[in-house]
Amino acid sequence: MTGTLAQQSSAVDPAVYREVMGHYPTGVAVVTGFDGDQPVGMVVGTFSAVSLDPPLVAFMPTERSRTYARLANSPTYCINVLAHDQLDLCRRMAVPRDDKFDGVDWTLSADGAPMLTDAVAHIHCMPQAAVPAGDHLIVLCDVRGMEVSRPVTPLLFFQGGYGGFSPRGMAAKGDADLIAAVRLADPARPHIERLAQQLECEAAVLVGLNEDELTTAMSSYGGCASMRERLGDRIPLMPPLGEAYIAGQSPEVVEHWLAKASSQEPEVLQRYRQRLDVVAARGAALAMIAPGGEAAYRELHEAMQEYSSGELTPARERAVRAVVARMSRFFATVDLTDEELYDVGSVVVPVHNPEGDISMVVRLTQLPRGVSGRTVKGWISRLKQAAGSIENELRGNGGAEQLHDYRAWYPSDFPM
Ligand SMILES: Cc1cc2nc3c(=O)[nH]c(=O)nc-3n(C[C@H](O)[C@H](O)[C@H](O)COP(=O)(O)O)c2cc1C
């Protein structure tokens, strides 16, 4: 194979080469440097990691590239990994012009190369060799420093078009779906308002959006409760979150939920299953606030806000999952004793559709602290009563229509 880099005659039609390679997605990076005192840059889809020890990267300019001819004069480069929202910048840097940097935000790196503002990552390097390879060059570079500057999803190039990265379960739902969810919650309004006022807490309705998420479809505040979630915020269905919604679902749905637990150790899964049994028997899910719980709830709240933003990279999603998993200690099973005092984080009760399945839950949070077990039992039965009234309304005409609309968009390829 030695010396065959580009010498063989082509056995493949260039159109076929392009077509086949177009099925392999790439990231989009801009290689920047200086030609004298002029900043220069070019878009490359051929940026690649090469070696860890020593740290080397490479990109492959065409031998006809005018911009590379200028970059070849630069002692240092910055490789800027573009973010999903930098398509305009990408287009600007891909044109064969000398004024590409006009109006572009950049700063000077410590190594003396232009760093494009808001790029996902910056890789600071020095060219080491430019190896001819057919009609391109392989430019090998020593990495001198590197950092993730903005941990958002990158811009991707695929089959001649641009896109972003959107793993299953993180895709944001459209407005139409949210409207159907809000309409479904509509009959709950008077009950939710009454609960918030009488129990001096936050009362909310969460509706299932798909097999992976609930959304806040309505909330009301009483006592000192303050607004923490916005309408349309998404809550991931992953253990221990969503127990009240999951406990009454089919075995497939339960397994799908368990598969998202951050630990798949049999004992951990067994604990989650036992919890679901307790929730099903009690007809309500109860989470307590353990000592130090305030900070943990704040952390969970921040993680949920980040999740709702819909821009999570897989690394950030793993971090959010880790925060959710740490909440498990608040979901330990508690046998309420009438006289004992409790700090309750949340009480959640499912609302059954006329056919017996579940598409929403009602939830109390920001509840008064240090209350007796008797009081907590009272809250649970008040919440169950409200859920019962909402169930009655779903059977009635208005509710039935909203349920019909909701089912019209609910993804039907999932057994719910
Ligand atoms: C998504 C994308 C990826 C590209 N990848 C490369 C590449 O790997 N190598 C290359 O030489 N040009 C690549 N280009 C083309 C150059 O960015 C650009 O057209 C060129 O810098 C402008 O022409 P010039 O270099 O002759 O001035 C790419 C363009 C786009 C839009």
For residue 119, report the distance from its CA to the centre of ligand 1, in Å.
18
From 44, 80, 88, 157, the mutation candidate for ligand 1 (largest count of ligand atoms within 8 A of CB) is 44
Q: Which residue has the tokens 């800027």?
A: 80
What is the token pair recorded at 188? 């709950």
Question: What is the pTM (predicted TM-score) of this model?
Answer: 0.66
* pLDDT digits (tens), the chain, 416 positions: 444 454 555 689 999 999 899 889 999 999 999 999 999 999 999 999 999 999 999 999 999 999 999 999 999 999 999 998 999 999 999 999 889 999 999 999 999 999 999 999 999 999 999 999 999 999 999 999 999 999 888 999 988 888 777 654 434 445 566 788 888 898 899 999 999 999 999 999 999 988 888 999 999 999 988 887 778 888 999 999 999 999 989 899 999 999 988 889 999 999 999 999 999 999 999 999 877 777 888 888 888 888 887 667 777 778 888 888 888 877 777 889 999 999 999 999 999 998 888 999 999 999 999 999 999 999 999 999 999 999 998 888 778 888 887 877 676 554 43
Which residues are CB-neighbours of 304 under 8 A, at least 6 positions away? 229, 233, 235, 236, 320
How far does the centroid of ligand 1 lie from the alpha carbon of residue 94, in Å? 6
Residue with CA at minimum distance from ligand 1 atom 20: 94
List of domains in the chain: 14-163 (2.30.110.10), 175-409 (3.30.450.40)
The response to whether residue 139 sits with its C-beta less than 6 Å from ligand 1 reads: no
Going by alpha carbons, the residue nearest to atom 19 of ligand 1 is: 94
Atom of ligand 1 nearest to the CA of 162: 1
- Evaluate: CB of 197 within 6 angstroms of ligand 1: no
* Cβ of residue 157 lying under 6 Å from some atom of ligand 1: yes
Beta bridge partners of 203: 220, 364
